[in-house]
Amino acid sequence: MTSSMRNYPTLVLRRIRLLRMPSWRRNLSKWVSANIEPRLASERGDAHLCELLTRITPRLSSALQALDGGPEALDDLQFAGRLHQALNPLMFSPEVTVRGAFNAMLPEIARELSMDELDVAMRIAAVAGGRREAIVAAGFRLLERGRHDEAAACARRALDIMTACPLSQKLLMDALRARRSAGGTLTAAEENGLSDLRGRFCPRPFEVIVSGQGLGWNEKTGLTEQVMGSTYACDCAAWVPFVTGNMLEGESPDAVWNSAGMQEVRRSVLDGDYSYCSRSMCPAIVNGNLPRNEEVTAPRLRRIIDRRETILSDGPRLVALGHDSSCNLACPTCRNDLMMANREESERLDRGRDRVILPMLRNRQIGVHMTSWGDPFASRHYRSILEALRGPDYDGVGIFLLTNGLGLTRHTWETMPQLAEKIVELRVSVDAATKATYENVRRPGKWDVIRENLTAMGELSRAGTFIRNRFASGREAVSSDLFIDLATPYSFVIAFVVQSANFREMPEFVRLAEEIGADVVFQKYYSFGHEPAAVFTSKDVTAPTHPEHNEFQTILRDPAMQNPRVTKTFMAQLETRSA
């Protein structure tokens, strides 16, 4: 028998399968060009998009084969996984600025299976696990049908997977708006989130640049990966979840500070649409603190408003660094394992330090925030920046130090005297008031070490060492001409990320702060996508659906929590929201 005769049955079966296949899948490349391509936009142009789509089409075709088996495929975890994986290059390529492939496919899948689009989305969402697209797609369809509470629940589920997801945040606000229109009640924070912000001003995108981590697509490995140096135009990536460029890859400080993305966020503030800001996370928005344009008097900001400036020649007032993950702890709220930069990453970090970061800080009045990710003493890269700040070129630099505090020993203070001279604000993340809880939530930290170090920091703060201590009002700090959140900025603060494992210790934590002479920040626990959504949900006691939520609310009313040392800025995020 010749080989063509041997292959004959296989060829016939394939032919039959092809004939039975609906035409959209039979001609998937054509369908993708006609239906997905027009929905997308890429900063690298149409040819780049075309190339990306050519690459994903075979994987998409293979994932969609499961539909041959009928609607049961929708309940299959593997189908949901393969579908999302096929689309990952689109979803995680930062240069693709407008996405919509999943939404484009839903009507076709529904037509093929003779089902309702919403049912298709809901069934895939039910098995989607840590993938947000189907959940968000189901949420928007629920909203179209007036089922706003279910839509809000979808948004919250998607945000539990990844807090910094702009589309999930939009879905939540649209659902809350619909609830209000239908006569439903909202909390004060939610009402503030929905308010018209035209004519209101926020200084942050004109003063701050954050260098953090974003998720990107690695073409070589075919996997998602963390992108070091992704920049954001506000203090926290979850508040403005929009990547404006890259601190480590930028050509110069100016190219990073005035990138097209930075200009676009500034435009959105000046126009008052605040399109890139999270209306459920940003403290200034949820607390209703944004000033009216006419109330802004600081000369630099006045000039920016009056001339509608989006390109700023004088550079940032605060550079926040959080691009190196290296840390001596692996707190379960943040990561699953200890992380240290490898050699290749260290070289990239050092190139970015020499080309952009240090030139951005040199001979200027500027604040540097270290760090929102990783620890300034455990990371070789951050430590090298702290060392560089000893030089006279950096006399104008003030340091906003955020550390887990384990490396800030009495010895460190002695060997790095520039720290005590330059620290504007010292924030230490502790998350516990007892040894047992500390060593559970800050692994593998040691309570005895942090307790001793906190005492030493308290002594320095009481002696008036830190810069903010030296001014009566604290408003002379280098980072802002306009404090929107803090009536009285602090100089030494201990921080506590609220979760089921520690919330009962909140009053005790306030007493600890009193003892060492610190202020306190309680913060909501955000999902960084490093743990399954169900694990996050089981820890997030701020959710009304959590079984310990009522007990948590009682703790918030404890007299100790009314202590003036407790910073009010973030409390609205902890108080009861609508379900």
Residues of this chain that bind ligand SF4 (CB under 6 A):
202, 204-205, 234, 239-240, 274, 277-278, 282, 284-285, 327, 329-331, 334-335, 373-375, 404, 429
Kindly state the smallest distance separating residue 366's Cβ from ligand SF4, in Å: 19
Q: Based on CB atoms, which residue is closest to ligand SF4, 94 or 212? A: 212
Written as six digits, the tokens of 20 are: 């039975």
Separation CA 49–CA 64 (nearest Å): 21
Least distance (Å) between residue 327 CB and ligand SF4: 3
**Which residue, 137 or 277, has its beta carbon nearer to ligand SF4?**
277
CA angle (475, 480, 485) in 5-degree steps = 75
By C-beta, is 36 or 164 nearer to ligand SF4? 164
Q: Are 80 and 61 in contact (CB under 8 A)?
A: no
Q: How far is the CB of 499 from ligand SF4 (least distance, A)?
A: 12
- Sheet strand arrangement including 366-370: 245-246, 223-232, 208-218, 318-321, 366-370, 397-403, 423-429, 492-497, 519-523
Q: Which is nearer to ligand SF4, 79 or 239 (CB)?
A: 239
Both structure tokens of 59 = 């994987």
> Which of 177/335 has CB closer to ligand SF4?
335
Residue at 284: amino acid letter: A
Least separation, in Å, of the C-beta of 290 and ligand SF4?
6
C-alpha dihedral, 82 to 85 to 86 to 92, nearest 10°: 160
Q: Is 249 helix (H, G, I), strand (E, B) or coil?
A: coil
Q: How far is the CB of 431 from ligand SF4 (least distance, A)?
A: 8
CB of 188 to ligand SF4, least distance (A): 17
Which residue(s) pair with 492 in the sheet? Answer: 426
Rg (CA), the chain: 26
**Residue with smaller CB distance to ligand SF4, 134 or 282:** 282
Write down the least CB distance from residue 318 to ligand SF4, Å: 12
Beta carbon nearer to ligand SF4, 137 or 341: 341
Taking the complex as a whole, the smallest distance from the CB of residue 329 to ligand SF4 amounts, in Å, to 4
User: Helix (H, G, I), strand (E, B), or coil: what is residue 203?
Assistant: coil
> For helices 166-181 and 133-144, what crossing angle results, to 10°?
20
Residue 276 CB, nearest approach to ligand SF4 (Å): 7
| Omega before residue 444 within 30° of 0, cis | yes
Q: Which is nearer to ligand SF4, 133 or 235 (CB)?
A: 235
Cβ 179 vs Cβ 152: under 8 Å: yes
- Residue (120 or 349) nearer to ligand SF4, CB: 349
Q: Tell me the C-alpha distance between 454 and 364, whole Å.
A: 31
Least distance (Å) between residue 391 CB and ligand SF4: 27
- Cα 69 from chain centroid? 39
Q: State which residue, 81 or 332, has the beta carbon closest to ligand SF4.
A: 332
DSSP classification of residue 33: I
Query: Minimum distance between the CB of residue 442 and ligand SF4, rounded to whole angstroms?
Result: 6
Smaller CB separation from ligand SF4, 278 or 573 = 278
Task: Measure the CA–CA gap between 476 and 368, rounded to whole angstroms.
Answer: 15
Query: For 461-481, b where at least 16 C-beta lie within 10 A, e where not — what string?
Result: beeebbbbbeeeebeebbbbb
To which residue do tokens 């640049």 refer? 209
Q: Which two tokens stand for residue 426?
A: 């010292």
Region of residue 183 (left: phi > 0; alpha: psi -120 to 50; beta: else):
left
